Amino acid sequence: MSLAHNRAAIPAQAGIGLRHPHLPAFLAAPQPAAWLEIHSENYLAPGGPRLAALERLRGDYPLSCHGVGLSLGSAEGLDEAHLARLRALYDRLEPELVSEHLAWSTAPDGTFLADLLPLPYTDEALDTVAAHVGRAQEALGRRLLVENPSTYLRFREADWDEAGFLNELVRRTGCGLLLDVNNLYVSAANGGDDPLAALERLPLAAVGEIHIAGHARVATPVGELLIDDHGSTVAEPVWTLLRTVLARTGPRPVLVEWDTNIPELPVLLAEAARAEFHLREVDDAVG
Amino acid sequence: MRLAELQTRMRQALLTGGSPDLELLALLADPPPQRERRLAVYRNNVRHALLSVLDAAFPVVRALIGADCFSATALVLIAQRPPRAPALYAYGGELPGFLADFAPLAELPWLADVARLEWARNAALFAADREPLGPDRLATVPAAGLPGLRLGLHPSAWLHESPWPIHAIWDAHQPGGGALEAVDLARAEIVLVWRHGGAVRQRSPGPGESALLAAFALECPLAEAVEMAAARDPDFDLSAVLARLLADGVLTYPN
């Protein structure tokens, strides 16, 4: 199988997730974002002004397409019609990076649950996800980056921990890792683990992109849970973890995501500027 | 438990209320009550994601019945008819039909048609791109060819003859729109929705224009379409109506 490796084209700089409220600002003037990422499923409609706006911007910014609906972990197979829609979009936009999630969102009866749901880290799940990553890379004609999920629960039955599962997935499929540092922090906190220990065991050589975002701390009658709501500035411990990650991986494209309570564009750009600062720290250390 | 069964059980647990699935809960690593609370995070995420989609697509229906009533109604729809595809821009088209049969809201018979109008606006935003027919293009058609000319509607266009004043009800919820109290609920209304220049537009055509548009949608020749329009409205003014439709980007040539 021959896969297009486009990794070089997204710069190892800070980008932002492009959201609809910010489209007018981007169309009106160039904005200081080194690159943009979209949620692929937001642009699958046949036409209209949003797709037209993205096609205009695409010429001015490197682009990453982040799928949120392929459901790599579905027991009953991939949705081939959805794969074909994604392929058509990617052929039209020619993104430098394409990514999906280690999760499932389509149930066996075809219901789409609109959330990134957790998998048990069993051999059966690994076989399923590896087959689907292979099929998706073939159908899309591109290498996938697979993102580590934020999780709120774990299953009793497990043949692997998450890091081991991802290592094996990378080994079997040749996919890359989209390392979401906020997810790493949130999942470790919710599972009572040390994120640094998990980090040590992840396939860091395969990291093609890094995500950061804000999370919420929610008190419940049974203890605190961290919720990955992408609704605030990046938390300080996540910035610290990002610096640790960058020290291990070297400079990589870093994306700031913000999806709920979306702020004015300058607030988002300020977060990207801080990520850029931490990227330069690594550059200086390496150079 | 096999992955497929686990996912089927989670689908049930996340979308519907009812009694807890003890076999599913037994698979979770945490003891009670933490495991119930953790599963509930996902239930909230799923409901919140789908409710947000419906909130955004049906702002007027939501304002008419109130946010709490809308959420309660939408949650019934979500449990009974969840999305079938990972493309949420297309989720919500079943709400109008659902409202039409939803007994608790039967005293608001016009609600389903207002929902149809809002869904048409949503669909118009995402409809396929197509160059509309401008007034200059039609001028190149020789006079002898006009009666047999077949015109079509832009892919975003939606025409609906409602027994209710849904355009006026919608308009009353827009900034600078009319007063809701002033709307005569006994009045029937025709609505045309389309997209032009990247924006969704909407107006209420007369019966003659509506007949003309319906004929265009069926790709009838112009002479036949005009006959149908004149049958609905003896004072139908073809040149004025056609000039406006062309200027507004409503028409194309058929496929």
- Measured between beta carbons, which residues in chain A are less than 8 angstroms from residue B38? 152-153, 190, 225
Averaged confidence pLDDT in chain B: 96
What local confidence, expressed as pLDDT, does residue B127 receive?
98
Select the residue from A115, A121, A157, A215 to test the B interface by mutation, using most B Cβ atoms within 10 A: A115
- Domain extent, residue A99, equals 11-286
For residue A138, how many other CB atoms are within 10 A of its CB?
13
In a domain, A6, yes or no: no
Q: Please indicate whether, in this complex, the C-beta atoms of B87 and A155 are within 8 angstroms of each other.
A: no
Q: For the segment B123-158, what is each residue's pLDDT rounded down to a tens digit? A: 999 999 999 999 888 888 888 999 999 999 999 999
Q: Please indicate whether, in this complex, the C-beta atoms of B8 and A108 are within 8 angstroms of each other.
A: yes
In a domain, A1, yes or no: no
Partner residue facing A48 (CB), from B7, B90, B127: B127
Placement of tokens 């548009």 in the chain: B213
Which helix (DSSP H) or strand (DSSP E) does residue B124 occupy?
Answer: helix B111-126
What local confidence, expressed as pLDDT, does residue A9 receive?
81
In a domain, A82, yes or no: yes
Q: How many independent structural domains does chain A possess?
A: 1
Q: How far is residue A196's CA from residue A16's CA, in Å, rounded to a whole number?
A: 25
Q: For the segment A157-199, what is each residue's pLDDT rounded down to a tens digit? A: 999 999 999 999 999 999 999 999 999 999 999 999 999 999 9
Whether chain B has a CB inside 8 Å of the CB on A69: the answer is: yes
In a domain, A2, yes or no: no
Q: Cα distance from A283 to chain B (closest Cα, Å)?
A: 38
* pLDDT over 90 at B86, yes or no: yes
What local confidence, expressed as pLDDT, does residue A287 receive?
56
Q: How far is residue B102's CA from residue B81's CA, in Å, rounded to a whole number?
A: 13
Angle at B10 between CA B5 and CA B15, to 5 degrees: 135
What local confidence, expressed as pLDDT, does residue B16 receive?
86
Q: How far is residue A34's CA from residue A11's CA, in Å, rounded to a whole number?
A: 7
Chain B residue nearest residue A67, CA to CA: B86
Q: How far is residue B99's CA from residue B117's CA, in Å, rounded to a whole number?
A: 13
In a domain, A3, yes or no: no
Mean pLDDT for the stretch of residues B53-74:
98
**H runs (alpha helix) in A29-111:** 49-58, 80-93
ipTM: 0.95
Q: Please indicate whether, in this complex, the C-beta atoms of A82 and B85 are within 8 angstroms of each other.
A: yes
Q: Name all domains of chain B by residue range, CATH numbers in brackets.
A: 1-108 (no CATH), 128-255 (3.90.930.50)
- Please give the average pLDDT of every successive group of 10 residues along chain A, which has 287 residues: 51 97 97 98 96 96 98 97 98 97 98 98 98 98 98 97 98 98 97 95 98 96 92 98 98 97 98 98 77
The CATH number linked to A244 is 3.20.20.150
Q: How far is residue A136's CA from residue A149's CA, in Å, rounded to a whole number?
A: 19
| Residue A224 phi, psi dihedral angles, 5° rounding | -80, 140
Which helix (DSSP H) or strand (DSSP E) does residue B189 occupy?
Answer: strand B189-196
What local confidence, expressed as pLDDT, does residue A7 receive?
40
Q: Is B69 left (phi over 0), alpha (psi -120 to 50) or beta?
A: alpha
